[in-house]
Amino acid sequence: MRPPAPPPRCLYPLRVLPLSSEQPTPDTPTTPSFEHVQPILAQALTARGYTELTPVQDAVIAPGAAGRDLVVSAQTGSGKTVAFGLALADEMLGEIGGTPLSDKPLALVIAPTRELALQVSRELGWLYAEAGLRIATCVGGMDASKERRALRAGPAIVVGTPGRLRDHLERGSLDLSGLVGVVLDEADEMLDMGFRDDLEEILDATPDRRRTLLFSATMPPAIVRLAERYQTDAQRLSLAGKDRGHGDIAYQAIEVSPSEIENAVVNLLRFHEAETAICFCATRDNVRRLHATLQNRGFGVVALSGEHSQSERNQALQALRDRRARVCVATDVAARGIDLPTLSLVVHVEIPRDAETLQHRSGRTGRAGKKGTAALIVPFNRRKRVQSMLRGAKIEAEWMGAPSAEEIRKKDHTRLIERITEPREIEEDDRALAADIMKRMPPEDIAAALVAAHRADLPQPEELIANTPEARDRDKAERHRPGFEDTVWFRIGVGRRQRAEARWLLPLLCRRGHITRNEIGAIRIGQHESWAQIPRAISARFADAVERTSQGDDEQDAIAIEEAPDGPRVGHDRGGPKGGPKGGSRDGKRGFKGDRNPRPHRKGGKDFTKGGKDFGKGGGKPGKGKSFAGKQDIKPKGKRPPKS
């Protein structure tokens, strides 16, 4: 049994200052005062340049929170790492009793990604440097034998990712019986990444008397359930504010033509010329493509995605810190935990899947009181979806077009003048060389040569389509394919629930309908059905062909393909069917219930329907299973789903 919790008190106790006739002057040196902070940690904070604690750091060490389990909801970049370091200080320093070595780890910090775990380890390293506490880091991609030696060396704090910590626990190299505190950092992201089983096994191995601190930028129901299971009388600290948008981040929604997204990214990077910028893509392939594009344009750019080894990731991050690169192209998961002090621009190249992803992505900038910019690249045809997402996130974004080449040149002009005219110390050798050049060339030619040398290092801006209704119509007309002025929609009896994707529906339509891929227009994929656009001139021939091929020997021949006079019934918000018996019911906050693809456990292999196996591990195409969960459109009954 844990000791009874102290009565709740105000998180921010008032500090009463004595009246004094002597008022401090601007020239009077002041020493930061960190109330409720251990003196040895206060020294570390002062040496680090802290003058005051952030709200989340103040809240976790307030008397009302002392010794209690905490559920902390705070924005990214609010100083959470130092906060849980301060929160567990009393328990850890009391246990070691003046010796820096510990027989068993006293604190365990669990983070979702390697980068975040390494960052936490560095932050706690300087915070507890004077106390002499040892810190062991256990993350995937590192040498496990070295980690085992570090765990045997008596660390007081262990920081790691769920998978590697679970591996050490099962091998017996990690003893959690002496813990006084457990911290779950970015808990919402760990659950979203499928680490629930790992977390539960780790937490089940910890003693009942330990404190559990749960930090999360968002507070979904899964986090609440986790807190109810593993915490006792937990105190909820919500410091995210009423608005979910970060106060230090300026949000911009950049409307562009769908065909000019990459050019818009180039112009955004050139317009802001941020010291460090990060561009978010949804998949590894898109990261690879954008990285190659920016590299060819002359940007100093690195890439981060799941296909890179830990060594490659470390080299990429070091290049950003050393200023050898200024742009990082990354996926959402790979960028978790990146903390670059100079990062001032976040570009959402692909629209985030939800408000939480938008918040986590944008939180890479605007950290520790610094200002930042988050720019969303919005194709013309996705504006309504982005507006809905921003309203749900309570974020006010400024809508604008992408910077034009002329605007970028004006910015370059201003930046060049500021750079050249800023005060600086000039060496005598440089003055002598300048005097020699002045004798050889007139001042105007020297200045022109300087401007040319400056511009030679800058990537050229792109000419974009103007953000006007006329320009959009003209762009749409230019992208229109001849022969598709009059079309007929055909319904296909598989949808997102059966892992339908355009990449395997396209060859299916070509084979079944005896047409070429150039004779197929748009493909729309719904929850249970999909639709394809066929020119009316060949629609009768196509319908006859798919009817004749429906009784073939191939498994895909069982998929029903028939004309749909009403066209596709796909909603504009989330891509789910608008109604009908298979359309699902409306849910005002999340669109159509069940419309999102279920995310498999990271170890793979889970079924997502009750009626037999729908599909196996991985892949974007249907696998081998017994049925499509009773799908009536697939005949003859009992046949297996289509192959890719």
Placement of tokens 């598709």 in the chain: 484
Q: Residues 6 or more apart from 639 whose CB is under 8 A from it?
A: 555, 558
Q: Looking at residue 466, what is its pLDDT?
A: 67
Q: Residue 480's pLDDT is what?
A: 60
The CB-side HSE value for 75 (13 A sphere, CA atoms) comes to 25
At residue 584, the pLDDT reads: 37
- Walk across the sheet containing 157-160 and list its strands: 135-138, 157-160, 107-110, 181-184, 211-216, 70-73, 235-238
Identify the pLDDT of residue 616: 38
CA separation for the pair 320, 334 (Å, rounded): 15
Cβ–Cβ contacts within 10 Å for residue 150, how many?
Answer: 17
Q: How far apart are CA 490 and CA 143, in angstroms?
A: 55
Q: Which residues of 238-272 are buried (b: 16+ CB within 10 A; e: fewer)?
A: ebbeeebbbebbbbbbbbbbeebbbbbbbbbbbbb
Quick one: the chain helix, strand, coil %, rounded to 5?
40, 15, 45
* Dist. CA 344–CA 373, nearest whole Å: 6
Q: Treating both helix axes as pointing N-terminal to C-terminal, what angle do 355-362 and 383-393 enclose, rounded to 10 degrees?
A: 80
Residue 218: how many CB atoms within 10 A of its CB? Answer: 19
C-alpha angle 214-179-7 in degrees, rounded to nearest 5 = 55
Q: Who contacts 328 (Cβ-Cβ below 8 Å, separation ≥6)?
A: 276, 277, 278, 279, 301, 302, 303, 304, 316, 320, 335, 338
Report CA Rg, the chain. 29
pLDDT attached to residue 580: 37
Q: Which parts of the chain register pLDDT below 50?
A: 1-31, 242-245, 571-644
pTM, to two decimals:
0.56
Full set of structural domains in the chain with CATH = 39-238 (3.40.50.300), 249-404 (3.40.50.300), 487-592 (3.30.70.330)
